[in-house]
Structure 1
């Protein structure tokens, strides 16, 4: 996962000592405080930071379940991403 991505996540993880937390692909975003309103804010932050637009079909609970699932969707939209969905 990209360091810009993990740093972007930290402010959204209100139920963790986000500064000390090691964010891994398995980090459970819901458990750490990303609710539906936070997911919308996170979506805007991701799109602004990476200059991408996430496809509507990827805007679901599964995408925002873990850091790895969200990163996979982001990574697939980056200009240098290989074809197909990347999960971590």
Structure 2
């Protein structure tokens, strides 16, 4: 019963021992390479664009809500100059 566990333990122990020796012999690689890899990955993270529109995130592409909203916006245009009411806006920012 303990043979399977001790075999795994010995194998892991030997593998980590050799990894430690490799790191001790070449410490520069294990310091410089992760820093350069982190800097390279940060360039993509800076260009990440967030989408916070709940209608885009949670409604289907051809859902009924979007078609109904298009009909309402087509027939009932919002007049922003005369007697403007914030409650009449069907889509903020548009």
TM range (shorter): under 0.3
- The structure with more radius of gyration: 2
Scaled by the length of structure 2, the TM-score of the pair is 0.22
Scaled by the length of structure 1, the TM-score of the pair is 0.24
Higher relative contact order (CA 8 A, sep 6+): 1
Q: Which of the two has greater helix per residue?
A: 2
